[in-house]
Amino acid sequence: MDHSLPDPTPARPHLARRFVAEFLGTGLLVTIVVGSGIAAAELSPDDVGLQLLENSLATALGLAVLILMFGPVSGAHFNPVVTLVDWVIGARSDTGLPLRDVAPYIVAQVLGGSAGAVLANVMFDVPWQLASTDRATGGHLVAEVVATAGLVLLVFSLARTASGSVTAAAVGAYIGAAYWFTSSTSFANPAVTVGRVFSDTFAGIAPGSVPPFILMQLLGGVVGLALVLVLYPTAARAADDVVVPHSVDAKL
């Protein structure tokens, strides 16, 4: 008779399904960011503040919807920093994203983000060319550390207590607010940063600004990780539920 205990770790959907979910989720997120930026610039050409309001509102609402749409499959990371922090935290207790899945997640996110920007260009008949907006100022780089650290802390604190719908709304609200309280308008995501290179529009970022932005986002991830470990020492127990729970046990 087999007296072994059952595996307490819920089985995740097949990696191929999660890859597609991360590709589509990140891609559509960038499509929302870039597409709403183009629409805002066309609808409110003489009011940058109104353009930012329109862009941030669409992004906040769209991100919440995407988390609900794809979260049950992949967790709705849509962000290499979230993926890396999930792996680091979970590695301590064999929870969270396993190391073998980290690279596929990040590849899906970066490819999806790039495809999403191209899709937005096509929908709005924008000629394809690399972005020319230089954003790498000292203030913007500090803002990326703050925005990314806050996002990481929010995601992992919510994973311990909140349902998927609450998490989706909270993450969307945070990103929408961070558009306004950070000077960089809160990219907070290397995959989104890379994607926005491929659209020379309101939401674009010049290729030369990408490396320092990503470096600061990774630093923000480290700061956020440190805060999570200090404030929530048992966060590893909830690593499987980042950003939202995703397992075959959830009727997938």
Tens digits of residue pLDDT in 185-201: 999 999 999 999 999 99
* Residue position matching structure tokens 């996002």: 151
47 domain residue, yes or no: yes
Q: Is residue 4 part of a domain?
A: no
Confidence of residue 252 (pLDDT cuts 50, 70, 90): low
Confidence bin at 246 (pLDDT 50/70/90)? confident
151 pLDDT higher than 80: yes
Task: Say if residues 216 and 144 touch (Cβ distance below 8 Å).
Answer: yes
Kindly state the tokens that stand for 116: 């999403």
pLDDT in tens, 102-113: 999 999 999 999
Which tokens is 125 given? 């008949």
Instruction: Give me the number of domains the chain comprises.
Output: 1
For a pLDDT cut of 90, what percent of the chain falls above it? 81
Angle at 20 between CA 19 and CA 21, to 5 degrees: 90
Does residue 247 form part of some domain? no
**CATH, residue 82:** 1.20.1080.10
Residue 40 lies in a domain: yes
Residue 45 maps to a domain:
yes
Give the separation between CA 211 and CA 152, rounded to whole angstroms.
Answer: 20
Q: Would residue 10 count as lying in a domain?
A: no
Is residue 121 assigned to a domain? Answer: yes
- Predicted TM-score (pTM) of the model is 0.92
Tokens of 100: 């073998």
Mean pLDDT of 56-60: 98
Mean pLDDT of 199-224: 97
For residue 237, what pLDDT is reported?
86
Query: Could you tell me if residue 8 is inside a domain?
Result: no
What pLDDT shows up at residue 4?
Answer: 47
DSSP-based three-state secondary structure for 4: coil
What is the length of the chain?
Answer: 252
* Tokens representing residue 156 in the block: 């992992």
pLDDT reported for residue 160: 83
User: Which residues span the domain enclosing 169?
Assistant: 15-238
